[in-house]
Amino acid sequence: MSASCAICISDCGRKSAPRSKWTRPDTKFHDSRILPAQERSRLADVLGSATFSLPVPSHVPTRPEHISSLIVEAQPGMRTQLRNMLAISGMNKVQFAVSAGVAVRKLKEARFDLILCEYHIGDGQDGQHLLEDLRHHAIIPLSTLFIMVTGERQYEKVVGAAELAPNDYILKPFAADTLYDRIERALAKRDAFLPAYRLMELGDIPAAIDQCKLGAANYLQWRIDFLRLQAELHVAAGQAEEAQHIYEQVLEMRAVPWARLGLAKTLFMMKKFGEAEEHLESLVAESEMFIDAYDWLARTREASGKLEQARAILTSAASVSPNRVNRTRRLGQLAMELGDVEAAESHFSEVVRKGKYSDFRDPEDHVHLISAQLGRGATAEAEASIRDLEKSMAGMPKTKLCSALSSAMVHTQTGDSDKAKAALDELLASRPDLGAVSQNLKRQLAETCFAHNMEDEASEVVLDIMRTSSDERTMQATRKMLEQHGRAELAERLETKVREEVRDLVSAGAAKAQAGDYDGAVSEMMNAVRKMPGNPHVLFNAALALLRHIENCGYNERFAEQARQLIERVRVQDPANPKLPALTDFMHGLFRKYGVRPEQG
């Protein structure tokens, strides 16, 4: 019997009237097994997970007849049984998804209050991966409950080590009353966190932190969970030491894996890679289920320049959890960096195969596969991959660019310079949106241009990389690429040019503000953002210009939203910026001055 057939539903054989009221559980209840879905900021590089950018609805349903539910379950019999369970509790607004892909599409189209998800969805998919995708891509809001249904006794170890955990999980077999009670508890907990969620949605991290402190004092049964969210908010604000203190405080009370992982993250933020590596190695050694610890250990080793060791630990993670496309993609990238083109081809072939029917597929994966195939001289296979790219990714925004670049790469390999240059000319003449592609792909484009002595075109692409990138690893890889093409002095010259551009742009905006021309300052700095959307110094000063305008000219809703978004982008790109907390406080001080607060209720 499969795990999905193991539920014992004591109520399904008889008709039962819906419950007449939706009672709240005793506030003294505390189930230490339950680890809630704690949301993260856009700080993908630090948190490894996603965002709290979706708005929390002003009215969140709590009565059963108003709650909309999505059941994610591959087996028809189980879908029916779960629907019957919900109906017994008065919840009749139910839809179904038979796979992760169907669930993603439904959740993009409509908002649900509750997701009931089977852990083993089928076809190599599981509910934990679906939850991570939904949070990472901001598909569901903070107020949506996600409850995992599983017969997997080991799931407690999975959820205990996960960066993103469901609001609750229920082990099979269980009765309808059990499901009802667990939904009640999850709703009560969600309601306690809603004030913090609303502040997070507004981007008011300082106030959200204060709300977590208040929640920890008022809801003792969820104190640890409020501390967890508070620590993550400190991480989002670039306040590594404050987060470290909270994680250490939690570990004094209970040795929970997520707190140990969080502590390692704060050490990573402070660039204490050796200490972070020790903590993460300890976590990995204790249990093969600590998958997020594997990923963070690999990231830490990469930051220390230990690429081969990073690849080794990611390979171990893939053997335990083989279905994560992002991990397989990273293995392919590391293999290419290490010169192992055969391994890179194997990894990217798997990424392309798994991603073909995914809602999150990316045409760039084909380019990386083609690069690996060309690396071992497999021109015919590379040409076949181009045809597959054009067929399977037709209509996607990046497909034309990726196809043209791949064709140029193949022609370069076969020595047909005229065809390669023609493909590049056609690509560049279309004025592609380089802001939509990765820095790796831009480097590949620059390399291909250099190979055909298209110096000006290649230099423009490199300038785009330098203008839109802030992390040192990307800059080092770009310098290395230029050195390999005998253009080390060009790297220095272009970096100097970008620094001068930044200085001139910021100075022009500052001069306007000092002269009292706040409209002009905003215009100058927003123009600078369009030129350098990935430069944290430009983003920071653009946000400051917008806030100075509000301070001196009155509240402007559009400027306030732009400032908030810019500050979020600075958090992603420069989380350790020492001026960021002061800028955030300044913004929310202005919001409070003008009475701008998240919706209450």
Q: 392 and 452: one domain?
A: yes
Question: How many domains, the chain?
Answer: 3
CATH number of the structural domain spanning residue 388: 1.25.40
Instruction: Region of 131 please: left (phi>0), alpha (psi -120 to 50) or beta.
Output: alpha
Q: What's the CA dihedral at 493, 498, 501, 507 to 10 degrees?
A: -120
Indicate whether 41 pLDDT > 60.
no
Q: 547 and 471: one domain?
A: no
Task: Tell me which of 171, 199, 227 is where a domain ends.
Answer: 199
Quick one: how many helices (H) and strands (E) in the chain? 27, 7
DSSP bridge partners of 148: 117, 169
pLDDT given for residue 16 in this prediction: 38
Q: 338 and 372: one domain?
A: yes
Is residue 191 included in any domain, yes or no? yes
Is residue 129 included in any domain, yes or no? yes
Q: What is the share, in percent, of the chain residues with pLDDT greater than 90? A: 58
Structure tokens at 460: 């423009």
Q: 333 and 471: one domain?
A: yes
Q: 468 and 523: one domain?
A: no
Structure tokens at 404: 């043209």
Q: 332 and 425: one domain?
A: yes
Q: 521 and 475: one domain?
A: no
Band (484; pLDDT cuts 50, 70, 90): confident
CA 118/CA 170 separation, integer angstroms:
10
CA 522/CA 433 separation, integer angstroms:
24
CA 44/CA 544 separation, integer angstroms:
23
pLDDT given for residue 517 in this prediction: 96
Q: 349 and 451: one domain?
A: yes
Task: Tell me which of 140, 167, 199 is where a domain ends.
Answer: 199
Is residue 106 included in any domain, yes or no? yes
pLDDT given for residue 523 in this prediction: 95
**b/e burial code for range 368-388 (CB count within 10 A of at least 16 → b):** bbbbbbbbeebeebbbebbee
Q: What's the CA dihedral at 426, 427, 431, 432 to 10 degrees?
A: 160
Q: 61 and 151: one domain?
A: yes
Length of the chain: 601
544-592 pLDDT, tens per residue?
Answer: 999 999 999 999 989 998 998 899 888 877 777 888 888 988 998 898 8
CATH number of the structural domain spanning residue 64: 3.40.50.2300
Q: 532 and 402: one domain?
A: no
Encoded amino acid at 590, one letter: L
Band (485; pLDDT cuts 50, 70, 90): confident
Range of the domain at 414: 328-486
Structure tokens at 370: 């083609």
CATH number of the structural domain spanning residue 589: 1.25.40.10
Q: 475 and 425: one domain?
A: yes
To the nearest whole number, what is the mean pLDDT of the chain? Answer: 85
Is residue 305 included in any domain, yes or no? no
Q: 337 and 399: one domain?
A: yes
**Crossing angle of the two packed helices 439-451 and 364-375, in degrees rounded to 10:** 50
- Cα–Cα distances in Å, from 212 out to 241, 267, 286? 17, 23, 31
CA 209/CA 205 separation, integer angstroms:
6
CA 335/CA 372 separation, integer angstroms:
9
Task: Tell me which of 148, 170, 199 is where a domain ends.
Answer: 199
On whether the CB atoms of residues 313 and 297 are closer than 8 A, the answer is yes
